[in-house]
Structure 1
Amino acid sequence: MEGKLGNPAPLGLMGFAMTTILLNIHNMGFYPLSSVVLSMGICYGGIAQVIAGLLSFKKGNTFAATAFTSYGFFWLSLVGIWMLPATGIENAQATPPDFLGWYLALWGLFTAFLWVGTFKNSKVQQFVFLSLTILFFLLATAIWTKDGNLHKIAGIVGVICGSSAFYLAIAELLEEVKGRRILPY
Structure 2
Amino acid sequence: MSENTYHLSVKDQTANPAPLGLFGFGMTTILLNIHNAGVFELNSMILAMGLFYGGLAQIIAGIIEAKKNNTFGLTAFTSYGCFWLTLVGLIVMPKLGWIPATSETGMAAYLGIWGIFTLLLFIGTFRLNKALQLVFGTLTVLFFMLAIGDATGNAQLKQFAGYEGILCGSLAVYTGIANVLNELYGRIVLPLGAVNK
Listed as ranges, the matches of 1:49-88 within 5 Å are 49-88=58-97
Bigger radius of gyration: 2
Aligned pair partner of 1:127 in 134, 139, 142 = 134
SS of the equivalent of 1:180 reads: coil
Residue 104 (1) aligns with residue 114 (2):
no
Aligned pair partner of 1:19 in 24, 28, 51 = 28
Distance 1:125 1:33 in 2: 28
Structure 1, residues 3-33: CA drift from partner, whole Å, max 9, x if none? 6100000000000000000000000000000
Distance 1:171 1:68 in 2: 18
- State the Cα distance separating 1:2 from its structure 2 match: 7.4
Distance 2:157 2:97 in 1: 32
- Residue type of the partner of 1:93? P
Residue 141 (1) aligns with residue 148 (2):
yes
Distance 2:12 2:135 in 1: 31
Structure 1, residues 50-88: CA drift from partner, whole Å, max 9, x if none? 000000000000001100000000000000000001222
Distance 1:59 1:3, change over 3 A: closer
Residue 7 (1) aligns with residue 16 (2):
yes
- State the Cα distance separating 1:175 from its structure 2 match: 1.3
Listed as ranges, the matches of 1:26-41 within 5 Å are 26-41=35-50
RMSD: 1.1
- State the Cα distance separating 1:152 from its structure 2 match: 1.1
Structure 1 stretches lacking a partner, 5+ long? none
- State the Cα distance separating 1:177 from its structure 2 match: 1.1
Tell me the number of residue pairs that the alignment of Structure 1 and Structure 2 aligns. 183
Q: TM-score of the superposition, structure 2-length normalised?
A: 0.91
Residue 114 (1) aligns with residue 121 (2):
yes
- Residue type of the partner of 1:57? A
SS of the equivalent of 1:119 reads: helix
Distance 1:133 1:99 in 2: 18
Q: TM-score of the superposition, structure 1-length normalised?
A: 0.97
Structure 1, residues 129-151: CA drift from partner, whole Å, max 9, x if none? 00000000000000111111101
List structure 1 runs of 4+ shifted beyond 6 angstroms: none
Structure 2 stretches lacking a partner, 5+ long? 1-9, 193-197
Distance 2:93 2:157 in 1: 27
- Residue type of the partner of 2:60? I
